[in-house]
Structure 1
């Protein structure tokens, strides 16, 4: 029995236990990813746009609709002239939960700005579950459900997916995976899009 309960076996069992918790418990995995974000990993890849390049063609976003908890429909086509932060997430998705505090910080910075719109789309279409999560965390983020077809160029089904549209409705940022959206670099990116007089 002493051979089984030696120091090496106990350490191995602890490592395996921690590994299993990280794999099987979404909140534990989210906590680990959030910690990695805090030390600088998972930074959003915001490429500097070439200001001398010809502007990309604006997409027609009309008909891409989302419904909020009160039943109000928002059509992306009606948001032309505004910067739109669109995030697809789910309560069971550890990377989604890991990035949510940074999304909330970004939202808090721009929530009173009429030129920046936040749409957080619950991929499960379960308002009760998503609102319970937001309330538990103290977030005031606006939760929506998909109310139309969403083109694959915007959302391919991977979570989390974040898309930012400029004021002409052009995709300025489209990334899959968790990122720290409260970083100075990303905040400056949103401010630059907002100030742009394209």
Structure 2
């Protein structure tokens, strides 16, 4: 009898392990749970305020409207690179959506959620199915490696002068008060 219970426990463990590995939403659920207990807090003190020429870095939304980062000078820019198939991206989406809803009506803060795959139909459907309000874009120009090296998810924040003020590769909890305070500081600085 002990042998059977041991085998059942082992089989259940293997099944759960395989589900976490192969089902993106299951892995995202696990990562989100770790975020909620304090893991994956973004480190803001790593901001380097490097000068960046944002002119010509363009994104296109689902309606075909082009946005050039160079035209957004005077605004804080929150730029997130993600993909629908990426479990860490899926895990941080609820926290980013919460941050976005806090600032969406603020004319001094702009959010760009760049689908790394460039499939706006798929990414828009993903947002609607999960009831996220964030607008999606696809990359329409070259992105300097200083901003995006291909790691997903990657989040960068530019200050009102267009300087790179924050960069984080990997999952993070963007609903954290430190990020909200950081964006407010950037927004209220000269």
**Structure-1-length-normalised TM-score:** 0.92
**What residue ranges of structure 2 are gaps of 5+ in the alignment?**
none
Match status 1:158 vs 2:156? no
- CA deviations over 1:14-38 (Å, ceiling 9, x no partner): 1111111000000100010011111
Q: Please give the alpha-carbon distance, in whole angstroms, between the structure 2 residues aligned to 1:133 and 1:114.
A: 26
Please say if 1:93 is aligned against 2:107. no
- List structure 1 runs of 4+ shifted beyond 6 angstroms: none
Give a deviation string over 1:88-126, Cα, whole Å, max 9, x none.
000000000000000000000000000000000001111
Matches within 5 A, 1:3-22: 6-22=4-20
Q: Which has the higher helix share?
A: 2
CA distance in 2: counterparts of 1:139 and 1:56, whole angstroms: 30
Counterpart residue number, 1:148: 141
What residue in structure 1 maps to residue 122 of structure 2? Answer: 129
Secondary structure at 2:112 match in 1: strand
Q: TM-score, normalised by structure 2?
A: 0.96
Q: Counterparts in 2 of 1:1-198, with a 5 A limit? A: 6-47=4-45, 56=49, 58-197=51-190
CA distance in 2, matches of 1:20, 1:56: 42
Task: Give distance in 2, aligned partners of 1:85 and 1:91.
Answer: 19
- Kindly state the Cα deviation for residue 58 of structure 1 after the two structures are TM-superposed: 3.0
Q: Which runs of 5+ in 1 are unaligned?
A: 50-54
RMSD of the TM alignment (CA)? Answer: 1.5
Between the aligned partners of 2:49 and 2:36, the Cα distance in structure 1 is 34
Checking the alignment, whether the CA contact within 8 Å between 2:49 and 2:165 is kept in structure 1 is no
Contact 2:50 2:165 in 1 (8 A): no
Cα distance, 1:18–1:111 mapped onto 2, change above 3 Å: same
Task: Supply the distance in 2 between the matched residues of 1:82 and 1:75 (Cα, whole angstroms).
Answer: 13
Count of residues in correspondence between the two structures? 190
